[in-house]
Amino acid sequence: MLRYVGRRVLQVIPVFLGATLLIYTMVFALPGDPVAALGGERGLPEAVQAQIREQYNLDEPFLVQYLLYLKGIFTFDFGVTFSGRDVFDVIKEAFPVTIRLAFMALAFEAIFGVLLGLIAGLRKGKLFDGTVLVLSTMIIAVPTFVIGFVMQFFIGVKLGWLPTTAGSDPGFMNLLMPAIVLGAVSLAYVLRLTRTSVAENLSADYVRTATAKGLSRGRVVVVHVLRNSLIPVVTFLGADLGALMGGAIVTEGIFNISGVGGLLFRSIQQGESATVVSLTTVLVLVYIVANLIVDLLYAALDPRIRYA
């Protein structure tokens, strides 16, 4: 077990280096010169441009820039934006709310997705199963912003059950509706995965044997069906955590949340390469850590994997 964990942790290193290098190269290759664009129509004087280039190490060769950047990451020095703010501070502001939102969405889709999927799987072909399947298809088919605006209008404005927007420093209630909207599509996938997996495991030989041993129906379902069915679901959830963090642009926009999605969008538009690269790096780290946790969970759920 320890060896498995060690190996998985070591694998993080090349993934991290590869991903950051790739991001750095892509941002580097973006057309247009951000320094030249800073001065607007008239442009900055040559001397000022040269000074800015030197300040941001833009005059160094590509690889040196990358290595300097790596050095920065390990000393928590992410550089500064063109407006002079520390990138680390900018990110620090945007992340907490995004993390809160992502985890709330994850909890929502995991709890309800697994629960509904389990019931649907146990009653495959019955009315409940059919209804849930149709609903989940609808959720997948309708774009997030439609769901977002519709919920905002009915639940927020008409019924007044939940706050319509999040605003700055939002609390649990403020983020509840955004989290539901953000997690809705994934919930549909979790539900379907769980349902298929449960329905398949129900007819597994070991489930029949468990029943033949004299176990109660409830115990058979929880101990022998559910645990085995969760393995593919956990994989999906892990990969989804990263997507929820980086891909919440639309939801953040609808509910006026100043999170990572919006920041990333603005930074790309403004050519803030330091912010873009740093943000993406943090997101890559989130992905890597999430997948590491998934792999460890995986090994906990399925003992055969530890020795593979």
Partner 1 sequence: MSATMPEFVPMDAPDLDPNAPLLEIRDLEVAFQSSTGMVPAVRGANLTIYPGQSVAIVGESGSGKSTTAHAIINLLPGTGKVTGGTIRFAGQDITHAPRKVFEQLRGKEIGLVPQDPMSNLNPVWKIGFQVKETLVANGVAQGKELKDAVARVLADAGLPDAEHRAKQYPHEFSGGMRQRALIGIGLAGKPRLLIADEPTSALDVTVQRQILDHLEHLTQDRGVAVLFITHDLGLAAERAEHLVVMHRGRVVESGPARQILTTPQHPYTQRLVASAPSLTSRRIQSAKERGVESTELLARTDIDESRPIVEVEHLTKEFHLRGALPGAGSTFKAVDDVSFSIARGSTTALVGESGSGKSTVANVMLNLLEPTSGRVVFEGTEVGSLSKSELFDFRRQVQPIFQNPYGSLDPMYSIFRTIEEPLRVHGVGSKKTRSKRVAELLDMVSLPTSAMRRYPNELSGGQRQRVAIARALALEPKLIVCDEAVSALDVLVQAQVLTLLNDLQAELGLTYLFITHDLAVVRQIADHVAVMQRGKIVELATTDEVFESPREAYTRELLAAIPGSSLEVGGA
- Per CB under 8 A, residues contacting partner 1 are 203-217, 219, 223-224, 227-228, 301-304, 307
Nearer Cβ to partner 1, position 158 or 304? 304
Q: How far apart are CA 148 and CA 256, in angstroms?
A: 12
Minimum distance from residue 183 beta carbon to partner 1 (Å): 27
A 10 A CB-CB count for 82 gives 17
Closest by Cα among 191, 172, 180, 190 to 154: 180
Cβ-contact 253, 181 below 8 angstroms: no
Minimum distance from residue 224 beta carbon to partner 1 (Å): 5
Two tokens, residue 14: 């090349």
Q: How far apart are CA 180 and CA 175, in angstroms?
A: 9
Nearer Cβ to partner 1, position 225 or 286? 225
Nearer Cβ to partner 1, position 160 or 303? 303
Cβ-contact 257, 97 below 8 angstroms: yes
Minimum distance from residue 137 beta carbon to partner 1 (Å): 24
Two tokens, residue 247: 């891909």
Nearer Cβ to partner 1, position 176 or 233? 233
Nearer Cβ to partner 1, position 77 or 302? 302
Cβ-contact 248, 98 below 8 angstroms: yes
Minimum distance from residue 297 beta carbon to partner 1 (Å): 12
Minimum distance from residue 99 beta carbon to partner 1 (Å): 31
List C-alpha distances in Å: 277 to 52, 65, 208.
18, 12, 53
